């Protein structure tokens, strides 16, 4: 799956918040000034082509729905960043956060506890 533009990610957020929708329903969610129907429809079709949305037919119109949860998207995106920028190493990620002082000693201890707990579970 390809990554998302900012507009596509905003649109997916609407689907994750509201569930399956027709383009007209999606358009109603936008603040004024609302984008043109064709613009929203193009974004939705692009998301479907990328595999983020699918649809079910209702006569001549389609109701679109996400093919993954927001959590699945976030996990996939994070894994992509780790692979691309940190040589696919979670240790490199944590090390960078520690070096940049974005992660405290208490937070590192909590991470260690979580890893130990996960290893005990299986």
| Segment 64-105, tens digit of pLDDT | 999 999 999 999 999 999 999 999 998 898 888 888 877 888
What is the edge-to-edge ordering of all strands in the sheet holding 53-58?
21-22, 61-66, 53-58
pTM (2 decimals)? Answer: 0.78
Domain range 6-66, CATH architecture = Orthogonal Bundle (1.10)
Residue 55: pLDDT over 80: yes
Q: Which of 84, 13, 94 is closest to 47 using CA atoms?
A: 13
pLDDT at 1 (0 to 100): 65
Higher-pLDDT residue of 24, 122: 24
Instruction: For the chain, give the percent of residues with pLDDT over 70.
Output: 98
Mean local confidence (pLDDT), 10-33: 96
């Amino acid at each position: 799956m390809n990554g998302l533009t900012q507009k596509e990610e905003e649109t997916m957020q609407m689907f994750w918040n509201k569930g399956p929708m027709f383009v007209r329903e999606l358009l109603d969610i936008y603040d004024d000034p609302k984008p043109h129907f064709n613009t929203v429809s193009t974004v939705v079709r692009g998301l479907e082509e990328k595999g983020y949305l699918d649809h079910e037919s209702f006569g001549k119109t389609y109701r679109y729905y996400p093919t993954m949860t927001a959590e699945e998207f976030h996990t996939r995106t994070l894994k992509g960043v780790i692979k691309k920028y940190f040589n696919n190493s979670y240790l490199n990620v944590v090390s960078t956060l520690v070096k940049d002082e974005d992660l405290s000693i208490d937070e590192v201890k909590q991470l260690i506890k979580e890893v130990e707990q996960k290893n005990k579970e299986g």
